[in-house]
A and B are shown apart, each in its own frame.
Chain A
Amino acid sequence: MISIRNIVKQYDGKRALDDVSMDIEKGKVFGLLGPNGAGKTSLIRIINQITAPDSGEITVDGQKLSQVHIEKIGYLPEERGLYKKMEIGEQVIYLARLKGLSQTEAKERAIYWFKKLEIQGWWNKKIEELSKGMQQKAQFVATVIHNPDLLILDEPFSGFDPVNAELIKNEILELNAKGVTVIFSTHRMESVEELCDSIVLINKSKKILDGKVKDIRSRYRNQTYLLEYEGISLQNSLNAPFEILSETEMDGLHKMKFHLGRDHQVNDVLEYILPKVAICKLEEIVPSMNEIFIETVNKAN
């Protein structure tokens, strides 16, 4: 759906984005990851046409990104904010109308969303009179009210308690199921694994990793396994088809991490240990997105 080609953006001689390219598939949840100051916000602002790139091009469905796309995008910035002295109902309608909705349409949908998020009782309250969570919900409504095809969410869960974070997550997934493409920028890696189909990792203004979450994780597998067993320790086994990385024992239960030996399969390991111990559990250790994130960034630095 969105194709980002060789984007360069410079501020004060410092590169915020250095030749960044990526493709965002239609109807998928796309994770935009990276440490603070990596250039995520710069890229988001360029997609939102708040700023323009120095060079490079963005196309949406093969069409050059332009003013006509603004009404198709819903943007939730990391730094939330609404007019403090304005009533939230009125405010959401105003923001919806700026996205091209008519007054009646805006009001109808605002009422629908306020009911859905259970904030209809606060319609006439000013933002400054609301709790933080309530403000965030109103802001979320303002982001999705115009039925955007593309949602850009920058840390959407910050400021929510776990119950409301779950509520918002389900709303996002529901929209995604209806075909809305989501760009999701966050530091919370567990939500990345849960939500994202594919990701891009940006560090120091450069793209250092991208692909489907599944593929990336399997790419980072390094033939390490965890074995839990009972019986005599395998530590001093001879000619074993594996290399032991660590082993602990508690109440007779051994936990051993090992690396597959050269030219060996998992089956070889099973064959080797079957006569020796009672196997409780054997699993491959797949690195989490969090570990991959830290490892990749550290390597790049």
Chain B
Amino acid sequence: MIMNKILLIIQREYLSRVKKKSFLVLTLLVPVLFVGMIGLVGYLAVNQDAMSDKKSVLVVDESGWFAGKMTNSSSVSFTFSTDDYSAARDKFKTSDDDYLLHIPAPLSGLQLLGKKKASALTSQVISEKINAIAQQHRLADAHIDSAVVANAQKSLHLEEKQITESGEKDTHAAVTLILGILFAMIIYMCLLIYGVQVMRGVIEEKVSRIIEVVISSVKPFELMMGKIIGVGLVGLTQFVLWIALSVGLSFVGGPILAKKLGGNPQKAQTEQVVKMHPNSAQAAAAPKDDNEMAEVMRSLGNVNLVYTLGCFLFYFLMGYFLYSALFAAVGSAVDNETETQQFVFPVTFPLIFTFMMAQSVIAVNPDSTLSVWLSMIPFTSPIAMMIRLQFGVPTWQLVTSMALLVAGFVVTVWAAGRIYRVGILMYGKKASYKELVKWFLYKG
């Protein structure tokens, strides 16, 4: 009987949201934008030459080391001047060339003159080229075989493996890091988005005064739980649709893009990763050759999908229940949305804090005391544990964290329910924290 009524409430909360136009728009738009963005970035990465403006450089080489050796690249082309420097300089002023590179006879005081300031990329490309050529020239002067030097300079590759009971597994620190942050971000965003939806729903019922009619038929706690579950299901639906649509779109769009690019898609992807993270910490992750790419793929393949997704689902749902109950209590305590701020910040603070800690502490040092504590406290564990999980967590810690989260969920829902049942009937009373405690203590 009571279950029937909760089901009825869940059904209404779910359908009234799913039927909205905004739900449809958001559900369709996000995958399109997501896949479109990836496609665009990939396209730009591969067709960078087409996009970028080619600079022409007039070279006055007094040393004679460089003639014929400066190869043109996608962004810079070189022409050698036969004039001496001052004549070339005069000509440069009226020519179409963008830059004038002056290489004096003893190799010092090299200058790049430009009509405009040279971009970082241009000067980097030029400087790399002349350095490489100068190095070879010097080696040749010293009668050292450049092949020997190249061989000596070859960097060693460090392969990462994790010893587990089932044998050695390929891991990749960067992949682990990115996966962890990704999961943390999804949980963080979803808890906020759907939590706020629950809060809005509660305020709507309160403002429209339907609440009194509804709770003369069902208990406030049933209404609250029905709303929380209903909105949660909307979230899950949206998730599933997003994933399905994204995968579908990439299957359809991927080959088209690959054909257009005329190269193999994997290569394009590799380049894109390189271009996307210049100089950042993640640059370490940028696979530099096909060998490393294969390693990334192997490492991804080694992520235990059932285990990870199972944990994700658990932490997502429990975290959502916990936070949405708090949001429901906040919604019940106020008369309109503008009043929510004083309560919303304290509620979201643990989430924001953990998310900030996620990148700087937890992902860098997953087994530090702070990380472990954050992955135990119910308010922070959904985010913290999802990151730690990628690096491997002892079973006892995982079980403790889950048990604490369930306990935290039960206590929070109970406490929120007690505030909610009083709050929804209070109008025109400015709720303070003292007031909330009073409501919590009310009998019956």
Chain A residues close to B by CB (< 8 Å): 12, 45, 48-54, 70, 73, 75, 77, 79-86, 94-95, 97-100, 139, 142
Nearest-CB residue, chain A, relative to B427? A79
Q: A79, B209: Cβ atoms under 8 Å? A: yes
Given A50-B215, A52-B443, A70-B217, answer yes or no on A98-B210 (Cβ-Cβ < 8 Å).
no
Residues of chain B within 8 A of A77, CB atoms compared: 209, 212-213, 216
Given A51-B444, A53-B444, A98-B8, answer yes or no on A84-B208 (Cβ-Cβ < 8 Å).
yes
* Alpha-carbon gap, A82 to B217, bound state (A): 14
Residues of chain A within 8 A of B210, CB atoms compared: 81-83
* 4 smallest beta-carbon distances between A and B, as pairs: A81-B209, A52-B444, A98-B217, A77-B212
Task: Tell me, yes or no, whether B277 is within 8 Å of chain A by CB.
Answer: no
* Alpha-carbon gap, A100 to B12, bound state (A): 15
Given A70-B216, A81-B208, answer yes or no on A50-B425 (Cβ-Cβ < 8 Å).
yes
Residues of chain B within 8 A of A85, CB atoms compared: 16
Residues of chain B within 8 A of A50, CB atoms compared: 212, 215-216, 425
* Alpha-carbon gap, A172 to B216, bound state (A): 20
Residues of chain A within 8 A of B1, CB atoms compared: 100
* Alpha-carbon gap, A79 to B428, bound state (A): 14
* Alpha-carbon gap, A52 to B444, bound state (A): 5
Residue pairs across A and B with Cβ atoms less than 8 A apart, 6 shown, are: A75-B216, A77-B209, A81-B210, A82-B213, A85-B16, A94-B12
Residues of chain B within 8 A of A98, CB atoms compared: 5, 8-9, 214, 217-218
* Alpha-carbon gap, A84 to B203, bound state (A): 13
Q: A94, B8: Cβ atoms under 8 Å? A: yes
Q: B444, A75: Cβ atoms under 8 Å? A: no
Among B9, B16, B213, B218, the residue within 8 A (CB) of A142 is: B213
Instruction: Report B309-330 residues with CB < 8 Å from chain A CB.
Output: none
Residues of chain A within 8 A of B438, CB atoms compared: 12
* Alpha-carbon gap, A82 to B213, bound state (A): 8
Q: A54, B443: Cβ atoms under 8 Å? A: yes
Residues of chain B within 8 A of A48, CB atoms compared: 216
Query: Whole-angstrom distance from the CB of A74 to the nearest CB of chain B?
Result: 9
Q: A86, B213: Cβ atoms under 8 Å? A: no
Task: Tell me, yes or no, whether B249 is within 8 Å of chain A by CB.
Answer: no
* Alpha-carbon gap, A175 to B444, bound state (A): 33
* Alpha-carbon gap, A83 to B211, bound state (A): 9
* Alpha-carbon gap, A63 to B209, bound state (A): 31
Query: Whole-angstrom distance from the CB of B78 to the nearest CB of chain A?
Result: 67
* Alpha-carbon gap, A83 to B210, bound state (A): 6
Residues of chain B within 8 A of A83, CB atoms compared: 16, 204-205, 208, 210
Residues of chain B within 8 A of A86, CB atoms compared: 16
Nearest-CB residue, chain A, relative to B443? A54
Number of interface residues of B (CB under 8 A): 23
Q: A73, B213: Cβ atoms under 8 Å? A: no
Residues of chain A within 8 A of B218, CB atoms compared: 98
Residues of chain B within 8 A of A97, CB atoms compared: 8
* Alpha-carbon gap, A86 to B438, bound state (A): 34
* Alpha-carbon gap, A12 to B208, bound state (A): 26
Nearest-CB residue, chain B, relative to A76? B213
Residues of chain B within 8 A of A45, CB atoms compared: 425
Interface centre among A12, A49, A51 (most CB of B within 10 A): A51
Among B16, B205, B213, the residue within 8 A (CB) of A95 is: B213
* Alpha-carbon gap, A70 to B213, bound state (A): 12
* Alpha-carbon gap, A182 to B12, bound state (A): 30
Nearest-CB residue, chain B, relative to A47? B216
Query: Whole-angstrom distance from the CB of A143 to the nearest CB of chain B?
Result: 8
Instruction: Report B1-48 residues with CB < 8 Å from chain A CB.
Output: 1, 5, 8-9, 12, 16
Query: Whole-angstrom distance from the CB of B214 to the nearest CB of chain A?
Result: 7
Query: Whole-angstrom distance from the CB of A193 to the nearest CB of chain B?
Result: 28
Nearest-CB residue, chain B, relative to A97? B8
Among A52, A70, A80, A142, the residue within 8 A (CB) of B209 is: A80
Nearest-CB residue, chain B, relative to A48? B216
Residues of chain B within 8 A of A100, CB atoms compared: 1
Nearest-CB residue, chain B, relative to A83? B210
* Alpha-carbon gap, A78 to B319, bound state (A): 38
Residues of chain B within 8 A of A52, CB atoms compared: 443-444
Among B8, B9, B211, B425, the residue within 8 A (CB) of A81 is: B211
- Chain B 205-240, CB-CB to A under 8 Å as 1, else 0, gives 100111111111110000000000000000000000
Instruction: Apart from A95-B214, A142-B213, list 15 A-B contacts with CB within 8 A.
Output: A50-B212, A50-B425, A54-B443, A70-B216, A75-B212, A75-B213, A81-B208, A82-B210, A83-B204, A84-B204, A95-B213, A98-B9, A98-B214, A98-B217, A98-B218
* Alpha-carbon gap, A77 to B217, bound state (A): 13
Nearest-CB residue, chain A, relative to B209? A81
Nearest-CB residue, chain B, relative to A84? B208
Q: B216, A73: Cβ atoms under 8 Å? A: yes
Nearest-CB residue, chain B, relative to A46? B444
Query: Whole-angstrom distance from the CB of B222 to the nearest CB of chain A?
Result: 10
Nearest-CB residue, chain B, relative to A52? B444
* Alpha-carbon gap, A82 to B204, bound state (A): 10
Residues of chain B within 8 A of A82, CB atoms compared: 208, 210, 213
Instruction: Report B166-224 residues with CB < 8 Å from chain A CB.
Output: 204-205, 208-218
Instruction: Report B408-439 residues with CB < 8 Å from chain A CB.
Output: 425, 438
Residues of chain A within 8 A of B216, CB atoms compared: 48-50, 70, 73, 75, 77
Residues of chain B within 8 A of A12, CB atoms compared: 438
* Alpha-carbon gap, A97 to B10, bound state (A): 13
Given A77-B212, A79-B209, A81-B210, answer yes or no on A99-B425 (Cβ-Cβ < 8 Å).
no
Query: Whole-angstrom distance from the CB of A81 to the nearest CB of chain B?
Result: 3
Query: Whole-angstrom distance from the CB of B3 to the nearest CB of chain A?
Result: 13
Q: A95, B212: Cβ atoms under 8 Å? A: no
Query: Whole-angstrom distance from the CB of A125 to the nearest CB of chain B?
Result: 16
Residues of chain B within 8 A of A49, CB atoms compared: 216
Interface centre among B212, B425, B438 (most CB of A within 10 A): B212
Interface centre among B5, B211, B217 (most CB of A within 10 A): B217
